[in-house]
Amino acid sequence: MTLLQKIADNQLTGRGGACFPVAKKWLLVESGLSAKIQNSNEKVILYLVANGSEGEPGVKKDFYLLDKYPESVISGIKETMSYFRGRFGRNIDVRSIVYLNHDYFTRFRRQLQKLIEADNIKLFQKPNEAGYIGGEETALLNVLEGRRAEPRLKPPFPAESGLWGMPTLVQNIETFYHISRIASDQYLKTRFYTVGGDCFAPGVYEFSEDITINEVLSKTGNHPLKMPFEKSRYDFFVQVGGDASGEVFDSTQLNQPVAGAGSITVYSKAKHRSSDLIAKWVEFFKNESCGQCTPCREGSVRVAELLKVEKPNWKIINEIFDVMSETSFCALGASIPVAVRSYLANVHNNDVVSDD
C-alpha cells in the first residue's frame, strides 16, 4: 500500500485550520505534476513547503511539535519527498522548505538542521514584516519568492502553479507529523489542541480528532464549572480556532468537536468587558490586513473607528461586516466578523448592541 493510499484510508485532514483532505491535495499535486511534465522538455521541480508560520494568536501546537517531536516532523517531510520521487522518478526534482516564523526559526534552527542532514530540505525564516497574512498558503509563496506578503488570485492553485510557477504542496507542521505516523503505521487519528486563557492548566494536549470542546476542558482540568472546589468555579465562554479568527461559544454550547486550528481559549466573564474584547479583535485584523483589497483594508479601519464611541452604530458595523464577508479577496477579510458576531450572538449582554 502506498503512502497516499494510507493517508486516504486514514482520512487525514490538514491541520492548518482549513481541514482540507490531505489525500485530495496530493492528488491535485500529482495532476499538476503530470500536466507540467507533459508540457516541459526539462525536469519539473516539485516544491514541498512545511508551514510553521503559526501566526494565529492562541495557537501553539506547531511550537510544541517542533520542540517535542522534531524528528517526526522532518520524517514526515522526507516520507512525502520519497513518495513523490517514487511516483514520478527522474521526471521531477523534489525540494522542500520549512517555513518558520522568526521565533521558531531562532529557537529550532540548529536542531532541525541536524535532522535534515544531506536531504534537499531548506529552512526559511519568515520576515517579521510578512505578518499574520504571511502564513496564508499563497501569501507565503510570495514571501519565499521575495515578493510582498499578500494572497494570490486562485486559480491557478499552488498544486498546479505555486512557487516559481512549479507545482507546490503546502502542508502545516502538524500535518507532516501525522504523515510520519501514518507512514510507520502508528497513526491513532488524533490531533493536538492548544488550551489557554483563564484556565488552570494551559498547554498543548493530544486527543482524538472528534473530541468535543467540553471533553477537552474536562480531561485537561480546565473546565471552570468542574473545579474541585465550588468557590473556584466561575462563569465563562470560549473562543475556538484561534484568538483572532476563532468562533466564540458560551459555556452551554461546548458539546461539539473542536474546529479550525485546534485551539480553545477560556475567558472568565467577570474579567473581560465586551467592548474591550470586540475592539481587540477588530484592531488585530486592522493592523494585520495586507491592504491588497478595499473591503478588508478600508472596512477594518472604519469598524475600528466606529467602535471607539460610547454607543457604536451596529447597523452600520454589520453592513460593513457583510461587505467584508462577501467581497474580501482572501479569508482574512472574511474572518474579521466571525469572532465579533459569534460573541454577540452567543455570549453578550443585551445592552451591548444597539442599532441606533
Domain ranges of the chain: 3-183, 190-268, 274-346
Distance (Å, rounded) from C-alpha 269 to C-alpha 288? 27
Three-state DSSP at 100 gives strand
Given this model, what pLDDT does residue 260 score? 85
Given this model, what pLDDT does residue 352 score? 53
Given this model, what pLDDT does residue 353 score? 54
Given this model, what pLDDT does residue 356 score? 42
Does CATH number 3.10.20.600 belong to domain 190-268? yes
Reduce the secondary structure of 191-207 to three states and give it as a string.
Answer: EEEEEEECCCCCEEEEE
Q: Which residues pair with 344 in a beta bridge?
A: none
Q: Which residues pair with 265 in a beta bridge?
A: 196, 239
Q: Is 4 left (phi over 0), alpha (psi -120 to 50) or beta?
A: alpha
Distance (Å, rounded) from C-alpha 120 to C-alpha 116? 8
Contact 261, 51 (CB under 8 A): no
pLDDT tens column, 134-161 = 999 999 999 999 999 999 988 999 999 9
pLDDT tens column, 287-322 = 888 878 888 888 899 999 999 998 999 999 999 999
Q: If you write DSSP's letter for every residue of 204-262 in order, what string do you get?
A: EEEEETT-BHHHHHHHTT--TTS-SSGGG---EEEEES-TTT-EEEETT---SB--TT-
Given this model, what pLDDT does residue 16 score? 87
Given this model, what pLDDT does residue 216 score? 98
What is the architecture of the domain spanning 3-183?
3-Layer(aba) Sandwich (3.40)
pLDDT tens column, 68-83 = 999 999 999 999 999 9
Distance (Å, rounded) from C-alpha 255 to C-alpha 249? 10
Distance (Å, rounded) from C-alpha 72 to C-alpha 180? 6
The residues of the chain scoring below 70 in pLDDT are 231, 349-356
Does CATH number 3.80.10.10 belong to domain 274-346? no
Burial 94-122 (b: 16+ CB within 10 A, else e): bbbbbbbbeebbeebeeebeebbeeeebe
Contact 279, 234 (CB under 8 A): no
Taking alpha carbons only, the member of 217, 175, 192 closest to residue 51 is: 175
Given this model, what pLDDT does residue 2 score? 97
- Can 190-268 and 274-346 be said to share one CATH topology? no
